[in-house]
Amino acid sequence: MMNNIIKFSILLLVLFLSACNTKPSNTKEGDSSTEESFYLGQKPPGLIPEPFAPGLVTTQGWEYCGGFTPDLKEFYFEREVGNSEEEKKTELVVIENDDNTWQESVISSRVGTPFISPDGKTMHLGRRYKERNDNREWSEIKKLDSPFDSLQIMRLTASSRGTYFFDEFKRDFTGDIRYSRLVNGKYEAPRLLHKGINSGGSFHPFIAPDESYLLFDSEREGGFGDSDIYISYRQQNGEWGAPINLGDKINTKAWEASASVTPDGKYLFFNRNMGSDNYENVDIFWVSTEVLENLRPLR
């Protein structure tokens, strides 16, 4: 009997010590702290756009075209630095998660509009690109070969199938969006999208990884002022539907452009001019992608 009492007492002591040594959980049911750790520690927005990472990314200056890697551990964007016109320059910046701490570093001067491919292995920079090796190191800048080397590409994005969607900027400040499919390991000659999308002033396309929708910006009749962001959904027959303006919560009288969606599909990122016509204060905004789903046509 005494032995049983001793064994039971020891068992209670072990359970007590185990409970004391157990670390409390950092997350609770419904807690978004785990999700926030993927976005530079920022609280995710709802259906109203908010400046992304104020003071860290978004400032009173010029920040442009932000995007995450597929693992959400690196955020790339461009920003302008320098106090005077003579000193001003644009640089490519990355903020990356290193052991749960976000660290900022400057990669280089501006070399093109950055877009990370869905597999995370390529950083597209318009007509140029970098490739990533197994050690997560980026290569030196490379140039796209024919049939892209003669085109004035500002922004190029790619789907999970490898299809390129890009704009072609012209000297008269017009532009159109083209696409090129990867067929048997080679890219076909670029093709123009239909005139419903290409109005002569359509820029900065973003193709969904599954190619189910296309985001782009354009200044056209029925808009809210300057350039607005539009979406076109791919229809069941494979054709692109009529462009839909994202509405007055996203678009304003100001310039909105360069939209993209985070790799997890949860948030829409875009740029808005908060300054004068000199674009001295361009900010990066984000909003829930529910705004896109709410516009999706019923099938």
Amino acid 187: pLDDT? 97
Average pLDDT per run of 10 along the chain, which is 299 residues long? 42 39 37 66 97 97 97 97 87 94 94 96 97 96 95 97 95 93 96 94 97 97 95 96 97 98 98 96 98 90
Q: Convert 143-170 into a string of H (helix), E (strand) and C (coil).
A: ECCCCCCCCCEEEEEECCCCCEEEEEEC
Q: Residue 56 belongs to what H/E stretch?
A: none
From CA 73, how far away is CA 105, in angstroms rounded?
14
What tokens appear for 258 in the block? 């360069």
Residue 225 neighbours by CB distance under 10 Å: 12
pLDDT tens digit sequence for 151-174: 999 999 999 999 999 999 888 889
Max CA-CA distance within the chain?
Answer: 97
Amino acid 85: pLDDT? 80
**Total count of residues recorded for the chain:** 299
What tokens appear for 289 in the block? 């992608």
Contacts of 159 (CB under 8 A, 6+ apart): 118, 165, 207, 208, 209, 210, 211
Amino acid 58: pLDDT? 97
By the 8 A CB rule, do 286 and 49 touch? yes
Domains, in order of start, for the chain: 34-293 (2.120.10)
Question: pTM of the prediction?
Answer: 0.87
By the 8 A CB rule, do 270 and 67 touch? no
Query: DSSP 3-state assignment of 206?
Result: strand
Long-range residue pairs from 223-228, CB within 8 A, at least 24 positions apart, any chain: 223/251, 224/248, 224/251, 224/252, 224/253, 225/251, 225/252, 225/253, 225/254, 226/253, 226/254, 226/255, 226/256, 226/273, 227/203, 227/255, 227/256, 227/257, 228/256
Strand partners, 34: none
Question: 147: cis peptide before it, omega within 30°?
Answer: yes
From CA 150, how far away is CA 193, in angstroms rounded?
19
Amino acid 137: pLDDT? 95
Cα angle 240-246-252, degrees, rounded to a multiple of 5 = 140
Where do we find the tokens 């390991």?
185
From CA 269, how far away is CA 262, in angstroms rounded?
7
Amino acid 207: pLDDT? 98
Residue 201 neighbours by CB distance under 10 Å: 16
Amino acid 298: pLDDT? 81
Amino acid 196: pLDDT? 95
Amino acid 178: pLDDT? 97
Residue 238 DSSP code? S
